[in-house]
A and B are shown apart, each in its own frame.
Chain A
Amino acid sequence: MENEKNHIIPYRTFLYVLALLITLTITSVAITQIYLGTLTVVLALLIAAVKSSFVLRIFMHLKFENKIFSIAVVAIALLISVVILITFLDYLYR
């Protein structure tokens, strides 16, 4: 079975995404310098999630692969989150 469709991503696309990722990185550094309490962590992780989605969808080609791969990645992220959540049912309420 040969490669399905030889979809080629232009060099430019990668460079645009890189610029975006660096911008988001610097933003996250700047934001976390401001004291926002617990919101700081949430924002930092949110930005990390956005960066990840670009890496996953463009660099790792998920946008152009069968949807099932994207679903699996999200499912695994959810799985880890649920395990952490259930673990916290212990730690939060001790």
Chain B
Amino acid sequence: MNIQPGVMEPSFLEYKGKYKGIFSWIFSTDHKRIALLYLFSILTFFVVGATLGLLMKFELIAPGKTIMTPQAYNAFFTLHGITMIFAVVIPGLPAVFGNFLLPIMIGAKDVAFPRINLLSWYLYVAGVTLVLISQFAGQGPPDTGWTFYAPYSFRTTGNMLPAVFGAFVLGFSSILTGLNFLVTMHRMRAPGMTWLKMPLFPWSLYATAWVQLLATPIIGITLLMIVAERTLHIGFFDPTLGGDPLLYQHLFWTYSHPAVYIMILPAMGAISEIITTFSHKTIFGYKFMVVSVLAIAFVGYFVWGHHMFTSGMSGTALYTFSLLTFLVAIPSAIKVFNWISTMHKGSLDLQTPFYWAVAFIFVFMIGGFSGLILGSLAANVHLHNTHFVVAHFHFIVFGGTGFAFFGAMHYWYPKITGRMYDTRWANIGLVLFFIGFITLYGPMFYLGFKGMPRRYYDYDEVFHAGNIISTMGSWVLYSGLAIIIINLFASLRSAIKAPSDPWGGKTLEWTIPSPPPVENFDEIPVITKGPYDYK
């Protein structure tokens, strides 16, 4: 399967096709180039979102006004949420690593519909452009929060339409990516690769793709209904016309809860790959890992009401959603047990990606447990809309998807770029980032528990100390991030070329050159063994 020495096919980075320069990228239907287009866009918007967060935290370093007006603060947290959710973590791992690795890991030359893949990226760019337009045109940026709750979202003078349309277009991009991945896995697995010989990262993308396909249309139609409210006064969510604002919440969260599984499932898949490789031992409980990833996607479809415990739902709805929320934690726990069991008695190779994976497990568990606390009805009454919630979702989304993203970046960096990153700086960045992360978000649990509300520009003096610590954490985190990202870019010029298999991994991507040639494989491999054959 390895390219013969002497027969040097150009890598996908060097390949010269019909188009020149930047056009050879933005008109490319090669899944690997599209993955990098996404990486460039997503990293850009991540930095935008992170900077917004940094400024928000700076505002909160002291009660009262620090650097911005209350209206500006509302606009900041709205854009921070929209950017991070719709432009970073939802596309995140599938768009970058799914696009790059999925065909290779199943032994295919590309995805099922390469041109639709490129269209997905174009839609992504169009969507984020619309969101950006909402910041500068019209009567001021949106100030509803990324959740666009009715009735405020159709009453506010902020510029909702471009933002809502932007989210709609981004959703369409997500749907097409999911569709593409599903057909790819159904039709293009290499000969001999039965479903149960497929590695866990593709499996996680499979479960994710079903959620992308079946949940996203719900928010699509909900956003269209918001447009209809704003432009036509149609009345669906307007209490003065007979509508129920709570129905908006039902519809919104029917997508947005499964959306968090779009964020976390590929992250879990990447972690499974990393832990397996650096334990030099096959994953513990492969079948349970497959079933649990599908179970999370399935059960996750029915828990949306836990975002609405204090909104006015019936008692029956309350305890049904609480029960289902507890159930969905079980398959996640199974995965954590299996990761630990994989490491147990493995031959651990302590590399940067492995450190990210271990850190992931730590913060994911904190995020997860805090989710169970929030899922308990009585506790939720006290904690809803406090900083406890903010801490929870940053631990589980930033901690979960974010850490996995950086782990995956370092894990697959040699494969994608053909270079090795500088390990020392990568680890320094990680440590700084981790310290900053805990310092930034840890105090928020305490602050929330003591009653500090979220999305409030101002707060009582009693919360001051916690906020100072938290804001300082944001500076440490941001510098850690800067080191990590700069290191990844600087290492592109590293003299150290990466071999096909720097880590001793067993999945198919490690059998082809780094970086891969355009068609991935000389010959489509024939699979005879399971994905993690470490005997």
- Tell me if B212 is interfacial: C-beta within 8 Å of chain A: no
Q: Does B231 contact A (CB under 8 A)?
A: no
Residue B49 at the A interface, CB < 8 A?
no
Expressed in whole angstroms, the minimum distance between the Cβ of B324 and any Cβ of chain A is 9
What's the dominant secondary structure at chain B's contact region? helix
Are A93 and B315 touching (Cβ within 8 A)? yes
Given the known interface contacts A76-B214, A83-B254, A87-B250, the answer about A94 and B314 at a Cβ–Cβ threshold of 8 Å is yes
Total inter-chain residue pairs, C-beta < 8 Å = 33
* CB-based contact B301/A90 at 8 Å: no
Residues of B within 8 A of A83 (CB): 254, 301-302
Q: Mark B301-335, 1 if CB is under 8 A from A, else 0.
A: 11001000000111111001000000000000000
Interface string of B277-311 (1 = CB under 8 A from A): 00000000000000000000000011001000000
Note all chain A residues with C-beta closer than 8 A to B214.
76, 79
CA distance in complex: A92, B305 (Å): 15
> Contacts A76-B214, A79-B214 given: A89-B254 contact, CB under 8 Å?
no
Show 12 residue pairs from A and B whose CB-CB distance is below 8 angstroms, ordered by the A residue.
A79-B301, A83-B302, A86-B317, A89-B314, A90-B246, A90-B250, A90-B305, A90-B313, A90-B317, A93-B314, A93-B315, A93-B317
CA separation between A89 and B324, bound complex, in Å? 13
A82 within 8 A of B: yes
A92 touches B314 (CB 8 A): yes
Q: Give B234-281 interface residues, CB cut-off 8 Å to A.
A: 246, 250, 254
Give B248 Cβ to nearest chain A Cβ, in Å: 12
B301: chain A residues at CB < 8 Å are: 79, 83
Q: A6 → chain B, closest Cβ, in Å? A: 19
**What is the chain B residue whose CB lies nearest that of A1?**
B187
- Chain A residues, CB < 8 A from B313: 90, 94
Residue interface mask A64-94, B partner, CB < 8 A = 1: 0000000000001001001100110111111
Tell me which residues across on chain B come within 8 A of A90, comparing CB atoms: 246, 250, 305, 313-314, 316-317
Distance (Å) between the CB of A78 and the closest chain B CB? 11
A86 pairs with B314, CB closer than 8 A:
no
| Residue contact A89 to B302, C-beta cutoff 8 Å | no
Report chain B residues within 8 Å CB of A86: 302, 305, 317, 320
Roughly how many angstroms separate A89 CA and B303 CA in the complex, as a whole number?
13
Closest CB of chain A to B56's CB: distance in Å?
33
Residues of chain B within 8 A (CB-CB) of A91 are 314
Q: Compute how far the CA of A93 lies from the CA of B317 in the bound complex, rounded to whole angstroms.
A: 8
* Contacting residues of chain B (161-188) with chain A, CB-CB under 8 angstroms: none
- Chain A nearest CB: distance from B249 CB in Å? 10
Taking the closest CB of chain A, its distance from the CB of B46, in whole angstroms, is 32
Cβ-closest chain B residue relative to A68: B186
Give A85 to B313 CA distance when docked, in angstroms. Answer: 14
How far apart sit A89 and B317, CA to CA, in the bound complex (Å)? 5
Beyond A86-B320, A94-B312: 12 further Cβ-contacts under 8 Å?
Answer: A82-B302, A83-B302, A86-B302, A86-B305, A86-B317, A89-B314, A89-B316, A89-B317, A90-B313, A90-B314, A92-B314, A92-B316
Roughly how many angstroms separate A82 CA and B317 CA in the complex, as a whole number?
Answer: 13
Q: Within the complex, what minimum Cβ distance (angstroms) separates A38 from chain B?
A: 21
Cβ-closest 8 pairs across A and B: A93-B314, A90-B317, A93-B316, A90-B313, A89-B317, A94-B314, A89-B316, A90-B314
The answer for the CA separation of A90 and B246 in the assembled complex, in Å, is 10
Whether A89 pairs with B320 at a CB distance below 8 angstroms is yes
B412 to chain A, nearest CB (A): 31
Write the nearest CB–CB distance from A33 to chain B, whole angstroms: 28
Q: How far is the CB of B245 from chain A (nearest CB, A)?
A: 13
Across the interface, which residues of B come within 8 angstroms of A92, CB to CB? 314, 316
Looking at the assembled complex, report how far the CB atom of B307 sits from the nearest CB atom of chain A, in whole angstroms. Answer: 13
- Contact pattern, B 346-372, Cβ under 8 Å of A = 1, otherwise 0: 000000000000000000000000000
A68 CB, min distance to chain B CBs, angstroms? 9
**CA of A82 to CA of B299, assembled, Å:** 12
In the complex, chain A residues whose CB is within 8 Å of the CB of B250: 87, 90
| B310 CB, min distance to chain A CBs, angstroms | 13
Residues of B within 8 A of A94 (CB): 312-314
The docked-state distance in angstroms from the alpha carbon of A44 to that of B305 is 31
CB distance from A79 to the nearest CB of B (A): 7
Chain A residues closer than 8 Å to B254, beta-carbon distance = 83
The answer for the CA separation of A93 and B302 in the assembled complex, in Å, is 18
Q: In this complex, what residue of A is CB-closest to B218? A: A83
Q: In whole angstroms, what is the CA distance A94 to B315 when docked?
A: 7
Task: State A88–B316 Cα separation when bound (angstroms).
Answer: 10
CB distance from B313 to the nearest CB of A (A): 4
A91 to B314, CA, bound (A): 7
Contacts of B312 in A (CB 8 A): 94
Given the complex, which residues of A lie within 8 Å of B315, measured CB to CB?
A: 93
Q: Which residues of B contact A87 (CB under 8 A)?
A: 250
CA distance A79 to B246 in the complex (A): 21
Taken together as a complex, chains A and B put the C-alpha atoms of A87 and B315 apart, in Å, by 12
Interface string of B138-156 (1 = CB under 8 A from A): 0000000000000000000
